[in-house]
């Protein structure tokens, strides 16, 4: 990959406390253009909290977030979405009673052309269905019977696919995926990995949180290791093996920047 300048998304010194629990303890993060940044770490390391801060789902107690170099203050996930950051949360944010097409277009429904749409606010259902079908086909979710099927009747993996399709279709600056393959079978998991690569190759940088080391090492350009609420270091699939990454993650080995030089930056 090429070295390209300044981060699209950057966090500096984020802190989030829940009473006496410190979920994020001075965490930094940089996401560069055109990369897949994996975030790994043990349970409770603060990965989900970190990306919730980046996506407006929680407001950090301290620290700063920059999008394209400008400081942002997201108060809600809607703020982050409006700024182009599309997130799939670990606890899936789908509306179970709505169908697949409605879920894909939730919050950004398309209106009918002309006065029907602008004056009467009528939804363009047939267009949304056709587009939803295309997005799901792009994702290779061929097992869906009917795009009008309520999401509550889908399997866990199919729901996850709907959420990933939504983020890939609508993210305009950054796509963030928290454990997108956790509920998926081997075939579906591989399709989501391919979709993540496609999103990156279309020019959108992706943050991928995963416990699945083979997946991480397969797709990540860089790997941010989160430990005890902060970034321990950043490595790449070339600089470290999976077992070395796990050793840093669990504290069995010191992070490499305590041994030699600084964390890996893009292009290295
Ligand atoms: N809403 C909350 N209230 C209280 N404590 C919280 C809350 N959310 C997170 N925490 C705590 O903050 C810490 C970090 O949690 P977080 O969900 O960010 O971890 P994680 O790295 O995503 O873990 P996992 O791999 O299990 O998903 C944990 O100790 C957790 O118990
Ligand atoms: Mg989590």
Q: What is the pLDDT of residue 140?
A: 60
- What's the 235 CA to ligand 1 centre distance in angstroms? 23
Q: Judge residue 215's burial from the number of C-beta atoms within 10 Å of its C-beta, 0-12 exposed, 13-18 middle, 19 or more buried.
A: buried
Cβ–ligand 1 distance for 236 under 6 Å, the answer: no
Q: What is the pLDDT of residue 184?
A: 77
Ligand nearest to the CA of 224: 1
**What fold is seen in the domain 9-84+171-250?**
Rossmann fold (3.40.50)
Of all residues in the chain, the percent with pLDDT exceeding 90 is 50
How confident is the chain (268 residues) per 10-residue block, as mean pLDDT?
76 96 96 97 95 95 97 94 88 65 69 73 76 70 63 73 79 90 80 86 92 95 97 96 95 74 52
Among 237, 234, 241, 238, which Cα is nearest to 256's? Answer: 234
Domain definitions of the chain by residue range: 9-84+171-250
Residue appearing with tokens 């203050």: 73
Evaluate whether 177 touches 196 at the Cβ level (below 8 Å).
yes
Local structure of residue 152 (DSSP, 8 states): G
The whole-number pLDDT of residue 44 equals 93
3-class secondary-structure state, position 226: strand
Neighbours of ion ligand 2 (CB under 5 A): 47-48, 90
- For every residue of 67-110, DSSP letters joined together read ETTEEE---SHHHHHHTTEEEE-SS----TTSBHHHHHTTTSPP
Q: Is 58 exposed, middle or buried (0-12, 13-18, 19+ CB in 10 A)?
A: buried
Per-residue pLDDT, 165: 78
Contact 7, 30 (CB under 8 A): yes
User: What are the structure tokens assigned to 32, written together?
Assistant: 């560069």
Round to whole Å and give the CA distance between 231 and 49.
13
Q: Structure tokens of 44?
A: 């409770």
Establish whether residue 191 lines the binding site of ligand 1, counting it when its CB lies within 6 angstroms of any ligand atom.
Answer: no
């Amino acid at each position: 990959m090429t070295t390209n300048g300044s981060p699209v998304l950057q966090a500096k010194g984020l802190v989030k406390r829940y009473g006496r629990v410190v979920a994020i303890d001075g965490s930094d993060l940089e996401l560069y253009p055109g990369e897949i940044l994996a975030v790994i770490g043990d349970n409770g390391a603060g990965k989900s909290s970190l990306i919730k801060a980046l996506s407006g789902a929680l407001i950090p107690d301290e620290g700063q977030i920059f999008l394209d170099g400008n400081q942002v203050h997201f108060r809600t996930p809607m703020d982050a979405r409006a700024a182009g950051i599309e997130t799939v949360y670990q606890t899936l944010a789908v509306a179970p009673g709505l169908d697949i097409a409605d879920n894909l277009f939730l919050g950004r429904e398309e209106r009918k052309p002309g006065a029907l749409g602008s004056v009467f606010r009528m939804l363009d259902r047939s267009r949304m269905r056709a587009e939803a079908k295309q997005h799901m086909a792009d994702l290779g979710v061929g097992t869906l019977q009917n795009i009008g099927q309520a999401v509550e009747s889908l399997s866990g993996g199919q729901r996850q696919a709907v959420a990933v399709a939504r983020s890939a279709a609508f993210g305009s600056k950054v796509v963030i995926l928290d454990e997108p393959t956790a509920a998926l079978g081997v075939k579906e998991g591989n399709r989501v990995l391919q979709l993540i690569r496609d999103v990156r190759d279309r020019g959108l940088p992706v943050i991928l949180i995963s416990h699945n080391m083979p997946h991480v090492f397969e797709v990540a350009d860089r790997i941010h290791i989160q430990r005890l609420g902060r970034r321990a270091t950043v490595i790449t699939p070339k600089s470290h093996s999976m077992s070395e990454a796990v050793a840093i993650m669990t504290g069995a080995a010191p992070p490499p920047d305590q041994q030699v030089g600084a964390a890996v930056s893009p292009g290295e």
